[in-house]
Amino acid sequence: MSQSSNLGGILSRIWWGVNLTRQILLNFLFFGLLLIVLLMLVSSDRPEVPRGAALVVNPSGMLVDQETGTPFEQAMDRMFGQERPETLVRDVTESIRMARDDDRIDALVLQLRDLHGGGLSKLQDIADAIEDFRESEKPVYAIGDGFSQSQYYLAAQADEVFMHPSGQILISGFDTYRNYYKQAIDLLDAEWNVFRVGEYKSFVEPYTRDDMSPEDREARLAYLTDLWENWKADTGDRRGIDSDTIQAYVDEMPDLLDEAGGDTAAMAYEAGLVDALIPRDEMRERLIEVVGEDDNHGYKHIGMSNYLEARKDKRKRRRGDEIGVVLAVGQIMDGSQSPGTIGGDSTARLIREAREDSDLAALVLRVDSPGGSAFASDVILREIEITQEKGIPVVVSMGSTAASGGYWISMSADEIWAHPTTVTGSIGILSMFPTFEGTLDKIGISTDGVGTTELAGAFRVDRHMNEGLRRMMESGIQHGYDDFIEKVAHHRDMSVSEVDDVARGRVWSGTDAHRAGLVDELGDLNDALESAAAMAEIEDWQPRFIEHRPGFWESFLGDAAMSLARIVGPDVIEQRLHQNPQRQLLEQLKEDFRQMESFNDPNHEYYFCDTCVIR
């Protein structure tokens, strides 16, 4: 047999194997998609609301104004164990308010085990919805094995709080700590070139110091104290406990626990934080007494997600004028970005879409952002200014954070609303340009070459920073700060010196920002919507959220991937909520470096407030 025949036979068998593999993979893909479609069809039946049931509000993960990523991205994250569970605040508040007037719902149950946290303003929005529900004279219960600080804030809004006898309520106040890298940078012999205007602009400090500056310490403690006082007042008022008692509970916890013989549940009960210490079966029996028993021998109930699905018709648009709501949530970056991140181009596109929609009488920009790219922030601001020039009222509603770039995109609004606990301000600018020539030299790598000008090769990170480039960056940063405070002065009808007095990178609570003239009114999103309606001179109105709308294939692939993820994807909620301290530290370090990678401003200038991110 010839050599060519042998080769032909080998190639033939290889092709046969490749073709068989292709057919098998295609068949798996086909039947997999078929299975997913069938599952989607089977699960498309709308749930029914049982009469006389309890609505169970059971948020998971972080409370957010906008979920992170597209549906397809979310499904992929879930499938590969990278999901960070999130719950929309408006889903929670809407379900509670609909249940208030639903004669099929007889009670509200807060099951908060999977709630990771959220800004205090978001918790307050939910607390307001619970207060509205209470006007129906239907009872509200909170049940849990134990409660974290965020969980307890909501639990305290209930008429009765039930906790397991082995549980605990861990209240520790608010804090903001971070890692500092100066010693590590020195060990690497790296040169971390930093440019900033504003002594309170502290984002650069981890790279230039080993500890917190006095200015940063002063600003952080001021707004954290405001948040803590609000937290104590809100929970204390509902529980009939004064703020001093809650403060003593935290300050004297070691002594109180000794007095309770090490029993954390008894300590919480003695402090008046819970109404009963009972195991899960007794909680279930008490709720059965209120709403009756279901077919599974539990209390009759419907979960929040199923309730929203069952009430989908009630959530549809009705007749009347509309107020557009554009969400600006997350870090500000250049270009088009997925939901949960503010893209200069993508967010500007949404504002433009709202402006060109003749059905919209006004625009509310909901801002929940620590800022980011200076260039992208200005692109968004310009779209807002054009909207106002066309006679369309623009109102800003600040969420938990609206600082630095978050304030930049807010400042031109006809009216700015902030929660008392919003973290805002941080009017300042920064830039960083690290170089690693010393680090490379330690391992025997040097850099040399030629260029036709002094600036040629100046942006290489393996060379010492060019003095001309340094002067240019210093000049550009100073110009950026001057531009910031001048624009704030123009839009806020203040003098430049008045703005400078409250700027310089200083962070303020919503209450203090209101006193300083940086915001107009204190209130929530609904207050901002009502104000926008008044400006537009309309009475019968409804909000319409202007968001990224996935196309057919994006929706289909997202739904299909999520269905598959539910089957094969790991359950990561417990993993995310109950990480050990060592894992949390590693995650924080990873987050710090991910944040550095996300800085993509074309001019390397940032209106960013790391101080404002309370983790």
3-state SS class at 360? strand
**Residue 410 and residue 365: Cα distance in Å, rounded?**
8
First-to-last alpha carbon distance for the chain, in angstroms, is: 73
Cα(325)–Cα(84) distance, integer angstroms: 25
Map tokens 């999103």 to a residue: 525
Separation in Å, CA 588 to CA 78, 155, 170, 180, 581: 20, 28, 21, 12, 10
Q: Which helix (H) or strand (E) holds 368?
A: strand 360-369
Paired tokens of 453:
């000008």
* Segments of 154-190 assigned E as strands: 160-163
Report the candidate in 92, 105, 97 with the shortest Cα–Cα distance to residue 139: 105
Q: Give residue 434's identity as a one-letter amino acid code.
A: P
Rounded CA separation 170/144 (Å) = 13
Nearest to 59, CA basis, from 123, 10, 13:
123
Q: How many CB atoms lie within 10 A of CB 264?
A: 19
Residues 329 and 401: their CA atoms lie apart, in Å, by 9
8: alpha, beta or left, given left = phi > 0 and alpha = psi -120 to 50? alpha
108 within 8 A of 140, measured Cβ to Cβ: yes
CA nearest to 74, candidates 86, 64, 65, 62: 86
Report yes or no: 199 and 430 within 8 Å, Cβ to Cβ.
no
CA–CA separation, 582 and 260 (whole Å):
30
Residue 61: strand pairing partners: 115
Task: Give the Cα separation of 505 and 517 in Å (integer).
Answer: 16
CA distance 104 to 102: 5
Tokens 């068998």: give the residue.
13
Enumerate the β-bridge partners of residue 202.
Answer: none
**Alpha-carbon distance 34 to 26, whole Å?**
12
The catalytic residues are 201, 404
Contact 212, 611 (CB under 8 A): no
Question: Which amino acid belongs to residue 287?
Answer: L
Q: Rounded to 5 degrees, what are φ and ψ at 329?
A: -120, 130
Distance CA 568, CA 70 (A): 20
Alpha carbons 573 and 113: distance in angstroms, whole number: 10
H-helix or E-strand spanning residue 574: helix 573-577
**Distance in angstroms (rounded) separating the CA atoms of residues 315 and 461:** 53
Q: Which long-range contacts (CB under 8 A, 24 or more apart) does 241-247 make?
A: 241/271, 241/272, 241/273, 245/271, 245/272, 246/171
